[in-house]
Structure 1
């Protein structure tokens, strides 16, 4: 019985760590996508000035 509890606890711990890494990866990719989208952004007054 004790061995099964150790397996459940270790498996839960691994799932928590994996979900943390997945969430971090998603946030980094989302931020990267935002930065790339704004990379070629220029304001409207730059267009009207020239």
Structure 2
């Protein structure tokens, strides 16, 4: 293989791995934000309806 093809293969695999990591990070952040909204909703419900 020529050096150009080798560079393209290594670069393409690095970009693919980076994309997978970015997608995983994005999904974790979305889940974290959803969980924080959920917790905040329950605390505000307790403040308006009193604690048992």
TM-score by length of 2: 0.76
Partner of 1:31: 31
**CA RMSD of superposed structures (Å):** 2.1
Which structure: greater helix fraction? Answer: 2
Count of aligned pairs: 46
Distance 2:16 2:36 in 1: 30
Consecutive unaligned residues of structure 2, counting only runs of 5 or more, are none
TM-score by length of 1: 0.79
Q: Show structure 1 runs of 4+ deviating over 4 A.
A: none
